[in-house]
Every structure is written in C-alpha cells, then in structure tokens.
Amino acid sequence: KAGVTQTPRYLIKTRGQQVTLSCSPISGHRSVSWYQQTPGQGLQFLFEYFSETQRNKGNFPGRFSGRQFSNSRSEMNVSTLELGDSALYLCASSEGPGQPQHFGDGTRLSIL
Amino acid sequence: AQSVTQPDIHITVSEGASLELRCNYSYGATPYLFWYVQSPGQGLQLLLKYFSGDTLVQGIKGFEAEFKRSQSSFNLRKPSVHWSDAAEYFCAVGGNFGNEKLTFGTGTRLTIIP
C-alpha cells in the first residue's frame, strides 16, 4: 500500500497570503489528522477528520481550517499567513478510532 | 489533560551499546501509547504501540518498550544500536476511542558515535 502522501513538499509564501495543503491518506483509512511541528512548540495537534466530519480540534486560531472529502483526502487551509506559521505540517491517517496513526513526510511551509 | 514528558533532550551512545529513552505520561484513563522516530526531512515513522495486554511490546527495527502503570512510564529500549538509529524519537499518548488527538513529548535526539 502507498503511504500517506502530502503535497506540496515545500512552499514559500509571504505574510498575508493564504495557503492550501493537501493530504492523501493510506487507502482504506478514514481518519485524517493534521499536526504542526516547530522547533519552539514541538508537535501540536491541529484537527482530525473522520468520514468528512471534524471530530477534534486543537488550540489554533480560526485562520487554520480543514476539510475532508468523500474519498478521505483532506486539505488544510491557512489564511492571512503570519511569520509564526512557518512550520512543518504533518498529516496522519488511520483506519479509525483506536488505530495507530501513520504519518506523511509533511509540507514545509516558509513565510517570508 | 494529557501530557508527555521526555526528560532527555539529547542522548549520545556508542554504536553497539544499549539504549533506553525515557517517557512519562499523564492521562486520565488507560492510555494508548506510541513511539515514533523522525529522520531529518522526514515524517514520523511508528516504531511501536501499546493499547492493552502484555506490558512489554515489540516494535520494528529491534526496538521494544515497557509500559509501567505504577510509574506512568513507557520507556523505549534497544539492546544494540546501529549508526542508522540516529534520529529524533517521540513518545506520544492518546489516539484511542473518542480521543484521536495525539499528544507528543518534546522528543529525544539520538546521536550515535562510532
């Protein structure tokens, strides 16, 4: 089986712009979670989707949003980008509740 | 609230030596526990998981971990490290029914010396 695929791998944006990141989960996995990784804050949970419904949300501002499609693919959007949004954004998928999460290689977002 | 503490930020061991990475957790119920490894520029790879049952769990790449409820610990061990084990290791709690959020520790960077 192919692993979790995230696109693009690298992205450079400027302050005030918006960005959309994409995640294709492992085939058959219905749960998709997003995490932000920074040197200062470490790995932080953004949100989790299951069957197109957001079930859990972390402590991030409303500028961070996401959605999941009927084929389980997920997108994450960040609006009005700030310098502090520079990070590695990781997507993880699992078969469902209680199953381990498998991560993609991430999208490295740099804000200038 | 759930939390994970990895007290060692950086550990250096010689190739062939044994390894133990420490992890302490705080969780209100029976925890689901995980160890992940991250190489530079890569995502996280699952090494092993504990859901229930036998408290000594085996993972990939020769790693094992022991769940000790009385000490709220889930330490990762390997009897003999290889140069390819150099990476950052993360302990995580959560991901169980109704709480799919994973809470991670701050990570332990492992350096291997010849």
Q: With CB atoms and an 8 Å threshold, state whether A103 touches B34.
A: no
Closest by CA to A31, choosing from B27, B38, B97, is B97
Q: A26: how many CB neighbours lie within 10 A of its CB?
A: 18
> In 3D, which of B58, B33, B52, B4 has the Cα closest to residue A42?
B4
Closest residue to B42, CB basis, from A42, A98, A105: A105
Cβ–Cβ below 8 Å for A97 and B98: yes
Structure confidence at residue B98 (pLDDT): 61
Q: How many CB atoms lie within 10 A of CB A104?
A: 23
Pairwise CA distance, residues B24 & B93, whole Å: 10
What is the structure's pLDDT at A54?
92
The closest alpha carbon to B91, from B112, B109, B105, belongs to B105
Determine how many CB atoms are found less than 10 A away from the CB of residue A61: 11
When pLDDT is averaged across residues A13-39 and rounded to a whole number, the result is 96
pLDDT, residue B88, reads 98
Q: Compute the mean pLDDT over every residue in chain A, rounded to the nearest whole number.
A: 95
| Mean pLDDT confidence for A53-60 | 92
Per-residue confidence (pLDDT) for residue B29, from 0 to 100: 77
pLDDT of the residue at B100: 75
Nearest Cβ partner of A58 from B32, B45, B101?
B101
**Mean confidence (pLDDT) of chain B:** 93
Q: What is the pLDDT of residue B28?
A: 77
**Termini Cα distance of chain A:** 37
Per-residue pLDDT at B96: 65
Asked if the Cβ–Cβ distance from A100 to B97 is below 8 Å, we say no
Confidence tier at B99 by pLDDT (50, 70, 90): low
Question: What pLDDT is attached to residue A17?
Answer: 97
Q: For the segment B7-63, what is each residue's pLDDT rounded down to a tens digit?
A: 999 999 999 999 999 999 998 777 899 999 999 888 999 999 998 888 999 999 999
> Which member of B32, B51, B101 has the closest CB to residue A56?
B101
Question: What's the confidence (pLDDT) of residue A2?
Answer: 81
Shortest CA gap B30–chain A (Å): 12
Q: Which residue of A has its CA nearest to B108?
A: A42
Using CA atoms, how far apart are residues B69 and B66, in angstroms rounded to an integer?
10
Q: How far is CA A34 from CA A49, A88, B19, B100, in A?
A: 9, 11, 31, 11
Q: Do A104 and B45 touch (CB under 8 A)?
A: no
Whether residues A56 and B106 touch (CB distance < 8 A) is answered with no
Give the chain A residue nearest B51 (alpha carbons).
A98
B41/A105 touch (CB, cutoff 8 Å), yes or no:
yes
- Averaged pLDDT, B64-68: 96
Residues of A in contact with B96 (CB under 8 A): 97-98
Asked if residue B97 has pLDDT above 70, the reply is no
What is the pLDDT averaged over residues B81-105?
A: 88
Q: Do A105 and B97 touch (CB under 8 A)?
A: no
And the tokens for B89?
């290791």
Q: Rounded to a whole number, what is the distance in angstroms from the first to the last CA of chain B?
A: 41
pLDDT of residue B52: 83
Cis status of the peptide bond prior to A8, with omega within 30 of 0: yes
pLDDT score, position B41: 84
